Amino acid sequence: MPSQTLAQKLLAAASGRAAVAVGDIVTCRVDLAMFHDSSGPRRLKPMLESLGTGIWDRDKVVLVMDHYVPEADDESRKIVRIARDWAVEQALPHVYDSVGICHVVVPEHGHIRPGMLCVGGDSHSPTGGAFGAYMFGVGSTEMLGVVASGEIWIQVPQTLMMQWDGALAPGVTAKDMMLHMIGRFGMNGGRYQAVEFCGEAVRALSMQERMTLSNMSAEIGSQVGLVAPDDTTAAYLAQAGVGEPIDVARWQSDADAQAERYRFDASTLAPHVAAPHSPANSRPIADYEATPMQVAYIGACTGAKLEDLRAAASVLRGRRIAPGMSLMVAPASLRDQRQADSEGVMAALVDAGATLLPNSCGACSGYGGSIPEGANVIASTARNFQGRMGARTAQVYLASPYTVAAAAVAGHLIDPREMLQ
């Protein structure tokens, strides 16, 4: 048996083969198809009706309403109504309506497990790779094929192995790791290959931090962003209600598998900030002057999970945001918000001057929140493309929740480690 990377093992299993080689084109069985109100029913419903086919397996479909909720106008109400009506019409068993962002809600309900082959109707679907699953984003036409047949073809990718040695310093996060890698390799650095994150610094990360790594593999241009499962994975899934045993040992890259390898020292990593209008414009915080900010946004699937909210609170507790500063917080899921509330985290954010927004994609994708034209914005989102947050003249900087919270207090870019309590 030839040595295989985790990506190869996952694709071999999904295609019913003992092994696959880089460049092979394989037809894979899909274990899970996820889509949301923006990418799903409003596009799939008419195409499925035109084909005259139904859903191959309703139990393997998950629908999340997270982009156009809460409905702010007639267009939003129309889109969400289509999704809700279709869910009832199709008797879909897994529907999550207005309880958070799909990339957070789907894992927290135990839908993604090691060894699975999953597709998502969203470019940040690689988040599922944090669980040792091969998960990637597809467009509506590809999703139509999946929903109708339960299969998809994939060309086996080369793996880029990103090994992180050492340990992250307090106030430095997975978001900083990703911004560093994107700054080094660019947004096409993965060249639509598979990226696997490994090394002791990665193994030390929680599942939510691993999810941030895998999520932002999309920003490095990779099809998937994988983390091999371990006891941390199994413990998270057990808490999410997964009762079946997790075969951790099976889903590991062979030590001598062929891969393009890179090494990083986590202990020397500083907080990073990406300047407008690309995540690739990323540099250590020390490279920036005290650039003034008017808006701080803690939201999105990369920056408002429970641990992100805790990070922000560790900076904001006992402090107030700067005069003239607006701080918006949109927790990534209702479950995480409730837990944060029970810990006093939400109170710390509100006491500091934060405005709470609904559990949705919100301002990250330009649907919620209020980003003024011309404002300097620091956000915990994954992307800072021009106009993505709604205001085309806004200058959006990307950073970790620690760094966003610190800027909200100072009124300008600052190293968050200066404020950690």
Domains and CATH numbers, the chain: 6-265 (3.30.499.10), 272-419 (3.30.499.10)
Q: Is the pTM of this model over 0.95?
A: yes
Q: What is the pLDDT of residue 197?
A: 98
Cα separation of 9 and 282, whole Å? 33
Query: What is the identity of the amino acid at 162?
Result: M
CA dihedral (211, 214, 217, 223) positive or negative: negative
Residue 67: asked if its preceding bond is cis (omega within 30°), the reply is no
Closest CA to 23 of 134, 222, 153, 157: 157
Q: How confident is the model at residue 318 (pLDDT cuts 50, 70, 90)?
A: very high
- pLDDT tens-digit map of 173-226: 999 999 999 999 999 876 779 999 999 999 999 999 999 999 999 999 999 999
Q: What backbone torsions phi and psi does residue 306 show, to the nearest 5 degrees? A: -50, -50
| Strand (E) or helix (H) holding 223 | none
Q: What is the pLDDT of residue 292?
A: 97
Start-to-end Cα distance in the chain: 53
Q: What backbone torsions phi and psi does residue 170 show, to the nearest 5 degrees? A: -55, 135
- pLDDT tens-digit map of 39-92: 889 999 999 988 888 899 999 999 999 999 999 899 999 999 999 999 999 999
Q: Is residue 368 predicted with pLDDT exceeding 80? A: no
Q: Which of 183-192, 224-233, 236-245, 343-352 has the least mean pLDDT?
A: 183-192
Cα separation of 109 and 95, whole Å? 11
- pLDDT tens-digit map of 385-414: 887 888 889 999 999 999 999 999 999 999
Query: What is the identity of the amino acid at 350?
Result: V
Q: What is the pLDDT of residue 421?
A: 58
Q: Do residues 198 and 162 lie in contact, with contact meaning Cβ atoms separated by under 8 Å? A: yes
Q: Is residue 170 predicted with pLDDT exceeding 70? A: yes
Geometric angle at alpha carbon 31, from 15 and 96, rounded to 5°:
160
Query: DSSP secondary-structure letter at 398?
Result: E
Here the tokens at position 72 are: 């702010």
Helix residue ranges, H only, 16-133:
41-51, 74-89, 102-108
Place of tokens 């040992």: 249
Residue 157: asked if its preceding bond is cis (omega within 30°), the reply is no
Cα separation of 139 and 40, whole Å? 10
Tell me which of 162 and 46 has the higher pLDDT: 162
Q: Are strands 194-198 and 295-298 parallel, antiparallel or unpaired?
A: unpaired
Q: Do residues 63 and 40 lie in contact, with contact meaning Cβ atoms separated by under 8 Å? A: yes
Tell me which of 411 and 363 has the higher pLDDT: 411
Q: What is the pLDDT of residue 186?
A: 93
Tell me which of 157 and 388 has the higher pLDDT: 157
E-strand ranges in 25-182 read 25-29, 32-36, 61-65, 95-97, 117-120, 134-137, 151-155, 159-165
